[in-house]
């Protein structure tokens, strides 16, 4: 099974700023945690992060051509603005789980809308880095049991 873990703008800053919201661990720590989990399940995982909306669209399209089985996406602030990401995810038809490290529901009003949620098979909010592991497990059990 092949999974793409896609992170949007500023998530490369994890552990460097705003530890009260996003924790003290870095983006590299996050990738390590996910890779170890995927290795234990025999999942082939790829990581991409970009601060640019068009790059994220390109990575989603690339996933289609590379026959990726599932996408875990934290679109960062593009969650709340990007119809382009929604359209890209609709176009590729790859099961996608949306993850937010923080509990967006208890934050500012502008974080209450998510375009990606309209296509995501599941949305996980406020579980910190564990949310990514839950997302992987969701895609994995969907694949194994269906």
Residues binding ligand CA2 (CB under 6 A): 10-11, 13-14, 16-18, 22, 74, 76-77, 79, 100-102, 104, 111
Q: Which is nearer to ligand CA2, 77 or 92 (CB)?
A: 77
Distance of alpha carbon 128 from alpha carbon 146, whole angstroms? 28
138: which 2 tokens?
A: 């969701």
CB of 11 to ligand CA2, least distance (A): 5
DSSP-assigned states of every residue in 62-79? HHHHTT-SEEEEE-GGGG
Measured over all CA atoms, what is the biggest interatomic distance in the chain, rounded to whole angstroms?
Answer: 41
Q: Which is nearer to ligand CA2, 64 or 129 (CB)?
A: 129
Are 56 and 27 a contacting pair, CB within 8 Å? no
Q: Which is nearer to ligand CA2, 43 or 49 (CB)?
A: 49
CB of 45 to ligand CA2, least distance (A): 18
């Amino acid at each position: 099974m092949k999974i793409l873990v896609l992170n949007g703008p500023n998530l490369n800053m994890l552990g460097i700023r705003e530890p009260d919201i996003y924790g003290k661990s870095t983006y590299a720590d996050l990738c390590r945690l996910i890779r170890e989990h995927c290795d234990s399940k025999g999942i082939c995982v790829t990581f991409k992060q970009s601060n640019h909306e068009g790059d994220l669209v390109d990575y989603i399209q690339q996933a289609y051509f590379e026959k990726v089985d599932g996408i875990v996406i934290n679109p960062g602030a593009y969650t709340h603005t990007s119809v382009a990401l929604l359209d890209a995810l609709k176009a590729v038809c790859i099961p996608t789980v949306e993850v937010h490290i923080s509990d967006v529901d208890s934050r500012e009003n502008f974080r209450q809308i998510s375009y990606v949620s309209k296509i995501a098979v599941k949305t996980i909010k406020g579980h910190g880095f564990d949310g990514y592991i839950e997302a992987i497990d969701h895609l994995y059990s969907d694949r194994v049991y269906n």
